């Protein structure tokens, strides 16, 4: 009887000691990835979700892509899905990318051609924002009016420029070609001047030189359903919180939906954070 009691006590001590060792091992050796990834999406008040997004981590780095199927055009989801799938496929198929910028630009043109091929006379179109992080370097590309931000030291920086008619009007105003009234109050100021699925496609915004990332930097990719309904100050307040990128993305989306906007567009966001 005494032997059984001692054996039981020894067994319990062994199990508890093993659990403690395992806990210390997990705490000390399971480390955060260099880049943490989060995302969130909502259909808003629309009948269809026309935003698409994807992220992948492989030997080439970390790819993030977001495409917003153009509102008012038929089959926007078809176009946005095709673009994200094309980027995912090209990034996965290439064993080692020598030039990230070349990959981003070439894949953008491939995507545009694919959208034109499936259009067959229909109005298909989508915006694009894409990022690749390799090591400490951030590369990006954009077409249309979706946004890419860098959040660093409590400041939010917009990296890309919208391809909209309003920007051409502002340039014409600065050149003295039109009046201020014409430049800032034009009815078609929000009209896109570049998007994938456009036969005269040529405007691309991209990082000529990569951005060297710092610890705690956050990169945000989002559709206009996010940024048109939150100020940069409101975005900064959410990004300042010490949360995992998944929680940050969900928090920002909640902030958008709490606005209860009648014609709320599809809203999609990707958040990437550098941990080291």
Q: What pLDDT sits at residue 75? A: 82
Kindly give the parts of the chain with pLDDT less than 50: 2-3, 6-7, 9-30, 187
Tokens for 90? 């090209």
Six token digits for residue 276: 């080291």
Q: Cβ(37)–Cβ(55) under 8 Å?
A: yes
By residue range, what is the domain housing residue 10?
1-30
Burial of 157 (0-12, 13-18, 19+ CB in 10 A): exposed
Give the side-chain half-sphere CA count within 13 A for 94: 18
- Same domain for 128 and 143, yes or no, is yes
pLDDT digits (tens, 9 = 90+) for 25-44: 334 344 678 999 999 999 99
36 burial via Cβ count (<10 Å: 0-12, 13-18, 19+): middle
What local confidence, expressed as pLDDT, does residue 27 receive?
42
Give pLDDT, residue 7. 44
pLDDT at residue 184 in the model: 59
Instruction: Looking at the structure, tell me whether residues 119 and 186 fall in a common domain.
Output: yes
Count how many domains the chain has. 2
Structure pTM?
0.84
Instruction: Say whether both 24 and 140 belong to one domain.
Output: no
pLDDT in tens, 250-270: 999 999 999 999 999 999 999
Is residue 26 domain-shared with residue 81, that is, in the same domain?
no
Would you say 161 and 227 are in contact if contact means Cβ atoms under 8 Å apart?
no
The reply to whether 5 and 73 lie within a common domain is no
State whether 211 and 154 are in the same domain.
yes
Q: Are residues 74 and 91 in the same domain?
A: yes
Same domain for 11 and 65 = no
Instruction: Choose among 84, 68, 44: nearest CA to 124.
Output: 68
> Is residue 187 domain-shared with residue 243, that is, in the same domain?
yes
Would you state the structure tokens that stand for residue 82, as one six-digit string? 């095709």
11 plus 109 within the same structural domain: no
Judgement on whether residues 60 and 184 belong to the same structural domain of the protein: yes
| Residue 232, domain CATH | 3.60.40.10
Say if residue 141 is in the same domain as residue 174: yes
């Amino acid at each position: 009887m005494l032997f059984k009691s001692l054996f039981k006590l020894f067994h319990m001590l062994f199990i508890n000691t093993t659990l403690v060792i395992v806990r210390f091992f997990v705490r000390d050796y399971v480390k955060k990835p260099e880049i943490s990834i989060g995302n969130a999406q909502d259909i808003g008040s629309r009948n269809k979700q026309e935003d698409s997004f994807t992220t992948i981590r492989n030997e080439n780095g970390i790819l993030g892509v977001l495409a917003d199927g153009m509102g008012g055009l038929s089959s926007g989801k078809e176009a946005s899905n095709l673009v994200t799938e094309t980027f995912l496929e090209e990034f996965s198929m290439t064993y080692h990318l020598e030039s990230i910028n070349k990959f981003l630009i070439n894949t953008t043109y491939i995507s545009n051609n694919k959208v034109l091929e499936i259009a067959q006379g229909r109005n298909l179109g989508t915006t694009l924002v894409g990022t690749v992080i390799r090591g400490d370097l951030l590369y990006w590309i954009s077409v249309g009016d979706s946004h890419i931000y860098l959040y660093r030291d409590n400041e939010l920086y917009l990296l890309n420029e919208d391809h909209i008619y309003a920007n051409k009007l502002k340039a014409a105003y600065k050149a003295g070609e039109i009046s201020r009234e014409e430049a800032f109050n034009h009815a078609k100021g929000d009209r896109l001047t570049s998007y994938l699925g456009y036969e005269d496609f040529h405007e691309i915004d991209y990082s000529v030189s990569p951005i060297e990332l710092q610890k705690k930097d956050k990169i945000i990719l989002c559709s206009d359903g996010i940024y048109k309904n939150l100020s940069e100050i409101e975005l900064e307040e959410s990004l300042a919180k010490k949360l995992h990128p998944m929680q940050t993305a969900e928090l920002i989306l909640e902030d958008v939906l709490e606005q209860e906007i009648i014609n709320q567009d599809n809203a999609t966001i990707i958040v990437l954070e550098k941990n080291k």
